[in-house]
Amino acid sequence: MLALFFFFIALACAYPNRGPCTGDCWTHDPTMIQRHSDGKYFRFATGTGINTMTSDSVKGPWKDVGSALPKGSIIKLDDVSSTDIWAPDVHFQNNQYYMYYALSKTGTQDSEIGVATSTTLEPGSWTDHGSVGIPANSNYNRIDPNWISIGGKNYLNFGSFWNDIQQIEMESPLKAASAPAHQLSFNQTLNHREEGSFMFQNGDFYYLLYCAGIAGRYTATYPPQGEEYHIRVCRSTSGTGGFVDQDGVDCTKTGGTLLLASHGQVFGPGGPGVINDKNLGFVMYYHYYPLAEKQGGGKAGNSGYMYAWNELGWENGWPFVKAA
Ligand SMILES: *[C@@H]1O[C@H](CO)[C@@H](O)[C@H](O)[C@H]1NC(C)=O
């Protein structure tokens, strides 16, 4: 037990501070993109009609500019408000921006992934196309979408909590192909929990980030130390399978190298994404629950979460979190 305690202390000291943020630093399950026309940063989050923030740098000052889909999604789920939209994922392709998102009834597999398009990223400029048509399956949960292009083909990674991280090929950015989804990552032990994945390419490898552990709203009961949300990484040369961790362990067989866990004010980091910033290089952004908030009894819902970022450094082809 004592050894475990010192292990966590060592872990806690291993992470540099998060980068600075000014202005509106609230977020939950963020996605970030620089607008092609003017380089402006857009940060989207889970929230009424998809919360939209803008800034001239990853540091801020960030400004809340409104909802991407103020009228909500055209997807209808029983007992779920059409504006209760989760975990956006935005990318640029074919001269427009695509935003994948999820609607879900918390704690169930009653979920759908949808997509909207815009040419400007501005609030209210999005055209919703509804569901991308990933079939329901008891093997996964259709949440936390993340698009990637591999060898000229479109793929959507998603999921899942149920059977962890999945990938499906897309026939077009708006529609899933008919080939069934396959698993990219899986924790075989009891209480396996992986979700909120993000994939990006650097050099010869595709890197798969995902959240493991207990998400929770951290308001009343807290997971035992070390079991709260944290971010792990796996890599593969194909991007469609064969993901392993730094020790060579297959990520569908409980592999996954720890990239970022709780430290300082950062409790339960999750919802990661990566941008290749013009000035800073690879930057990982994520949400966290401030330790002070946790110690003060917590806020309702997602309102206590904050945005953070760190530059990524590289060693032997593996990313690590760098000081700002
Ligand atoms: C797999 O799940 C177990 C139990 O929740 C956890 O202790 C372990 O850290 C997880 N492993 C990975 C690689 O996520």
CB count in 10 Å sphere of residue 138: 8
Q: What is the pLDDT of residue 6?
A: 47
Q: How confident is the model at residue 220 (pLDDT cuts 50, 70, 90)?
A: low
Any ligand 1 atom below 6 A from CB of 254: yes
CB count in 10 Å sphere of residue 292: 10
Any ligand 1 atom below 6 A from CB of 212: yes
Q: What is the pLDDT of residue 41?
A: 98
H-run or E-run covering 6:
helix 2-13
Q: pLDDT of 228-264, one tens digit each?
A: 999 999 999 999 999 999 999 999 999 999 999 999 9
Q: How confident is the model at residue 9 (pLDDT cuts 50, 70, 90)?
A: very low
Is 195 tagged catalytic?
Answer: yes
pLDDT cut 70: percent of the chain above it: 94
pTM, to two decimals: 0.94
CA of 232 to the centre of ligand 1 (A): 10
3-class DSSP assignment, residue 69: coil
Token pair belonging to 142: 């259709």
The residue extents of the domains of the chain are: 2-321
- Tell me the average pLDDT of the chain: 92
Q: How far out from the chain centre does Cα 77 lie? A: 22
Residue type, 163: N
| Burial zone of 149 (CB within 10 Å; 0-12 exposed, 13-18 middle, 19+ buried) | middle
Is 311 tagged catalytic?
Answer: no
CA-based nearest residue to 92, from 127, 67, 121: 121
Q: pLDDT of 196-208, one tens digit each?
A: 999 999 999 999 9
Q: pLDDT of 61-97, one tens digit each?
A: 999 999 999 999 999 999 999 999 999 999 999 999 9
CA of 235 to the centre of ligand 1 (A): 18
Looking at domain 2-321, its CATH class is mainly beta
CA of 47 to the centre of ligand 1 (A): 29
Name, in order, each residue with C-beta under 8 angstroms of 273's C-beta and a sequence gap of 6 or more. Answer: 30, 31, 32, 89, 198, 209, 284, 285, 286
Catalytic residue among 24, 112, 195, 311: 195
Q: What is the pLDDT of residue 303?
A: 86
CA of 5 to the centre of ligand 1 (A): 17
Atom index in ligand 1 nearest the CA of residue 255 equals: 13
Q: What is the pLDDT of residue 192?
A: 73
Mutate to test the pocket of ligand 1, among 187, 193, 225, 247 (most ligand atoms within 8 A of CB): 187
Q: pLDDT of 97-141, one tens digit each?
A: 999 999 999 889 999 999 999 999 999 999 999 999 999 999 999
Contact 116, 128 (CB under 8 A): yes
